[in-house]
Each structure stands twice: as structure tokens, then as C-alpha cells.
Chains A and B, each alone.
Chain A
């Protein structure tokens, strides 16, 4: 009878590892063949395991099966003879027991990690940031083009095009990225950026599919953990980025319920925050505090940690948060950061000061299509008792909403503006900090 099911990451992890390892053995120009071999291997494993259960040594089992599948695909090619060296390398890898965790002599463990090298390869400077993220999801996370497309709210055809263009760049490069390469540092920054975007797409993204979005967040956590565990990549900034992602992920259960309903930071039930993830995030933040580099991720992690440690929205040390946002704005002068700073300032010095800051926000044009800008205006107007103005802002926000969850969230804010509260009424504790941007 069948045994226990593998954990929910199993197929993602195996798919990424198998594609990366086969690509390294075969050479990047055989990327497509490696992908085919892995997909066929995993699909057929599902059929066998349905009857037999998952074997104890599933990873080694899959590596062997994928290698054999790759050999038979190579043989099937019309020019099979040309691929004799590739078939030889696959056979050698088999003989060395590679993939079953055996080490290549003379190389530090990090240099052997094919998944890590694949991650760095996906963040090639000739590939756009959006496409880098899509590529990471496709090659390392086992996401189908359709799933990535639905995460980014583009058509399947557009995503297939984006992916195939990116894969062409990768397949045309010299090989998987060498972690000892001179351009390791800038490439690591690109990897950070891609994982940050990947997580954000899940956390704030436009996809109406809550399951897809949770998958994106989980995949970002899995990959950032991989970075943290491998010496050359485990820089202070990597730890700080991991802290940001874990601390935000801790809020997910309170932020988005199973039906995809959103609750903003101020109104979240903090008992539903994941204490285990918070603890992990705080450990990572502590580990990030070496050397003298203060990256944008350090500052963002410090903000997230301050929220995580506040017993309630009211008891948040807002002066501290504003100070951290000021510092973050200097490193990353983005209008979204400025928006969040203005919201924190309103908590500290009152809604009028917040509205002033929002009004004079540089780069507000970039926020023209961002629903949480008018939503923030609405919250602050509501707090100074101007319900009608607030309602108008919430309506503007609702028009910009990108999915039903956002629309329902804003509808709920609109209904909070009526019945009109008498002027000077004490704002309900619920009508505070409007946004929950990381």
C-alpha cells in the first residue's frame, strides 16, 4: 500500500534540482532537453508512486530516472551520434553516484550546488527583471507557463514568449554561472532583487488566485533559504533579505484568509501571525548585523521586525518606524517607500501631517495606477473626520483595484465611511494605518 505523501515542496524542489543538475551535465545549450527529461520523469514518477508509494530514496531514484530519460531523448535525436560526449557525461555522472548527494572532489560544497548556480544564471543582465523572476519560477520552481502567466496577469502566449526569449539568452550563454566569477557581487544583487520581486508578487500581486500567490511566497522563502545556507551567497544583505521575507510571511495568515480576503496591518489579528516565522526572521536579522553594510533589506527588515514586536498597532513605536523609513528612502528613493513613510508619519504626528507628506510626495505620478495611494488618502481623511472626501478617495482606489480581493477590501473601507461620523468623533481603532506594504 502507498506510504506517506511527500511534503508540499517536494516536486518543486526536485524539479528545480533535476533541471539544474541535468543542465550542468549536458551544457546550457541543452536546457530544453533537460526540461523535457525532467518533466517526463516526474510525470511518470507520479504514475508509479500512485501505486507503490514514494520510495525512501526518492531524490536519487529521480536523478537516475531523469538521467536515463535524457539519454534516451538524446538518442532519439536524429543526430544522436553528435551527442556521444553528452551521453558519456551522463553515464559518468551515474557511475559517480552524482545526484545522490555525492561530492565532486576538490570543490567546496557551494560550488556544487547546481540549483544555486541556476538561480544566478537566471538573473543574467541581458534578461529583464520581470523575465528573470519568470525564469526562476519556471526552471527552479516547476511552475508552468500558465501558472506564471496567471501570477503576473499576462496572457499565456505573452508569458510563453517572455520565457522562451529568456531561455534563449540562458541557453546561449557559456554555461551555468560560476559562483567564483568576478561579477559575483552584482549578480548576487540581481538575485536578491528577483527573489524580492517574486515574494512581492505573491504578497501584493495582482493575481486573483490566492493559492498561486501563496505558492510564490513559499517559493521565495525556499530559494532565499538556499542562499542563506551557501557560504559565498550568505552575505549580510542575503540574511537581511531573508529576514524581510520571513517577517512578512509571518503575517500572511492574518493578512489573507483562504478565500483571499485582505486585512491591512492595523486591523490584523496579531495572534494569527506565525510565531515560528517571526522567530526565524528575527534570527536572520541578527545574523545580518555583521560588517558595516546597511542595505535596503536591512532597513526593511528592521521595519518589519519593529512591527512584529509591537503588541498592537497602537503600541507601535512610530517614531522609530519613521526614522527607518527616512533611512530607507535615502537608499531606495521609491514612491511606494515614501507612501509608507507618510502613513507612519500620520500615526506619529496626526493625519494632517500624513496628508501633507502624501501631497508633496515626489514621484506620485508613478503611483497613478496604484490603488493604495488613494486608499491611504482615504484612510487619513477618514481619520480627520472628512467622510465624504474619504469616500471619494476609496472610490478612486476601487477603480484601480487589480483583483476582487482588493475590490472587496476597498468596498469595506467605503462602507466604513458611512454613516457619516459626527465631526470630531474619536476615530475607531480600526481606522488606522491603511497600507501594509513591506
Chain B
């Protein structure tokens, strides 16, 4: 079994915000069901956390600090989770069920290095 970092991304310029109580309810239900499913499949390594959209970018050897974190990125990272799967193909298959895909987002699947 290998571990994978799932990064949930939304386009920064046109995030699809739920504009009604019904859509909010549905979105929360979908996410809750998704994490439950990961857990019951034994795929959930670390639930992870949601991330604030604001933050900072430190670069140029520390000489430059930008407001960000998406100063030079097209995406907002909503949050992350660590998933356990046989290989990259299996992890990607798991990611296809992620609710973020239903509203214009994407899941970045990154194998965590073992050694």
C-alpha cells in the first residue's frame, strides 16, 4: 500500500459558490458521504484539513513575502487528505468520486515518497 496526498483545487477566478440553501446542504452531504466512503473502504489515512484561501508566499531566499497563496496560481487549494491505495491508478480511481469534481474543481493526486 502506498500513500497519496489529495489536494482539492478550485479555479481562483470563478469558484462555483453554492448560491442557495439547497445547494449548500447537498454539497455538505456529498462531502460527508465521500469521507465516510473513504473511511469504510479503508482508504482514509488522514482526514486532512480545510485551508484558508488567504495566506502568504515567501520566496527569493526569504527576501520577498507576497500576499497569496495564489498570487501566481490559478487555483485555490480548498484542503487536503491523505489516502491509502495500491498504486497511482487505484488512488486516481478513488479520486473520481470526489464532490469537488461536481462543481468545477479538480483533485491533484500526489504519491508520497516512501524512501
- Chain A interface (Cβ < 8 Å from any Cβ of B): 1-2, 5-6, 8, 10-12, 15, 39-40, 42-43, 46-52, 54, 141-144, 146-147, 215
Contact = CB atoms under 8 A, between A and B. Distances in A.
Interface in B6-51: 17-25, 27-29, 31-32, 35-36, 39, 47-50
Given A39-B17, A42-B24, A50 B50 contact: yes
Contacts of A5: 28-29, 32
B36 A2 contact: yes
Given A5-B32, A51-B35, A51-B50, 8 more contacts: A15-B21, A39-B17, A43-B18, A141-B21, A142-B20, A143-B22, A146-B19, A147-B20
* Most chain B beta carbons < 10 A, residue from A2, A6, A47: A47
Given A39-B17, A43-B17, A43-B18, A50 B23 contact: no
Nearest to A4: B32
B21 A43 contact: no
Contacts of A147: 20, 22
A49 B28 contact: yes
B97 interface: no
B35 to A, nearest CB: 6
A69 to B, nearest CB: 13
B102 to A, nearest CB: 13
A43 B19 CA distance: 8
Top 6 nearest A-B pairs (CB, nearest first) are: A142-B21, A50-B31, A11-B21, A144-B20, A12-B21, A144-B19
B68 to A, nearest CB: 17
A215 B23 CA distance: 12
Contacts of B32: 2, 5, 50
B79 interface: yes
Contacts of B23: 144
B18 A46 contact: yes
A46 B21 contact: no
Contacts, number: 71
B88 interface: no
Contacts of A142: 20-22, 24
A43 B53 CA distance: 13
Contacts of A52: 50
Contacts of A50: 27-28, 31-32, 35, 50, 79, 99
Contacts of B31: 46, 50-51
Contacts of A12: 21
A300 B24 CA distance: 36
Given A142-B20, A142-B21, A46 B27 contact: yes
Given A51-B79, A144-B19, A147-B20, A8 B25 contact: yes
B94 interface: no
Contacts of A47: 50, 78-79
A215 B24 contact: no
Nearest to A53: B32
A389 B25 CA distance: 49
A46 B105 CA distance: 15
A48 B20 CA distance: 17
Contact of A51 (B21, B22, B25, B48): B48
> Which has the most chain A C-beta neighbours within 10 Å: B31, B32, B49?
B32
Contacts of A48: 50
Interface in B60-99: 78-79, 99
A39 B19 contact: yes
A12 B25 CA distance: 9
Contacts of A40: 17
B21 A1 contact: no
12 contacts: A2-B36, A5-B28, A6-B28, A15-B21, A39-B17, A39-B19, A40-B17, A50-B79, A54-B28, A144-B20, A146-B19, A146-B20
Contacts of A215: 22
A15 B32 CA distance: 21
